[in-house]
Amino acid sequence: MAAAAVAVRDLWKFFGDYPALREITFDVEPGTCLALLGRNGAGKTTLLRLLAGFSHPGRGEVRILGAGVRAPETRARLGVLGHGISLYEELSASENLHLFGSLFDLPDPARAVDEWLERVGLSRVRDGLVREFSRGMRQRLAIARAFLHGPSLVLLDEPFTSLDDRAIAVLQQVIREGLAAGCTVIMSTHQIREAMELATHAALLARGRLLYHGPRAPEMLADPGWLYAQYGEA
């Protein structure tokens, strides 16, 4: 049996004495899209940062694609798009993508950069500095950066926040193509409607506990507040 894309066992994270995550246990199968829901402060970003290897858990274990979170082979197959766009303001669009293409050891970074600039509609401004870009252009470039190396697992932290219509369409298209190619996606979001259009599974966090984890039900698509209401979080 193939290893789960993400396997989380009895995960706890403490900030001082406060448990930001408590007894989190779940698996994410390869090729699925998990929408991670929860109110502000529920622990979504903390969980995603643990999955990305940006911090260590207080207790418990995380396995990504069958290996440890900080293993080089894991990081080579992981794409992350967090709250920040993770792009250098003083570098151009193509320089930013080329930098990450080199760090991810792409065999032909220049070709990958050209392809992704075309896909996100930024070929025309490839030599423009990021500091001169609009918010929507930055977000599209950030999407290209996260998917540039063809990751097997992508972690997206509120990816639809502050996106314009065009950037939302680009992101949804990129995620759909990624899923079709077998990529696993985990995204935390408050934009439930946009997320549910893509999600195959959903999880609900509240005060650091995992209240629900399972397939996306039709009711979740029809009513964005349905899952919250089922667990008294409306």
Partner 1 sequence: MTFWRHTWTVLTKDLRAELRTKEAVNASFSFAITILLLISFAFDPTEEMTREFSGGLLWIVFAFAAVLILNRSYARELPNDCLDALIASPAPASAIFLGKALSNLFLLLAVEAVCFPVFGIFYNVRWIGQFWPLLLVVVLGTWGLTVVGTMFSALTVNIRLREVMLPLLLYTTMIPGLLASMQLTVHLLAGEPLSTAFVWLRFLIGFDVIFTALALTFVDTVLVG
The residue ranges that bind partner 1 (CB under 8 A) are 52-56, 70, 72-73, 75-76, 78, 80, 82-91, 95, 99-100, 102-105, 129, 145
Whole-number Å distance between alpha carbons of 189 and 157 = 7
| Closest approach of partner 1 to the CB of residue 25, in Å | 23
Q: By C-beta, is 57 or 233 nearer to partner 1?
A: 57
Helix axes 93-103, 109-119, angle to 10 degrees: 130
Q: By C-beta, is 68 or 214 nearer to partner 1?
A: 68
The answer to whether the beta carbons of residues 217 and 37 sit under 8 Å apart is: no
Q: By C-beta, is 73 or 177 nearer to partner 1?
A: 73
Q: By C-beta, is 16 or 84 nearer to partner 1?
A: 84
The SS3 call for residue 41 is: coil
Whole-number Å distance between alpha carbons of 225 and 152 = 30
How is 147-214 classified by DSSP, letter by letter? HTT--SEEEEESTTTT--HHHHHHHHHHHHHHHHTT-EEEEE-S-HHHHHHH-SEEEEEETTEEEEEE
| Closest approach of partner 1 to the CB of residue 72, in Å | 5
| Closest approach of partner 1 to the CB of residue 91, in Å | 6
Whole-number Å distance between alpha carbons of 187 and 143 = 13
| Closest approach of partner 1 to the CB of residue 221, in Å | 31
Q: By C-beta, is 154 or 211 nearer to partner 1?
A: 154
Which of these, 138, 193, 188, lies nearest to 159 by C-alpha position? Answer: 188
Tokens of 45: 């970003």
| Closest approach of partner 1 to the CB of residue 163, in Å | 16
Q: By C-beta, is 82 or 208 nearer to partner 1?
A: 82
| Closest approach of partner 1 to the CB of residue 145, in Å | 7
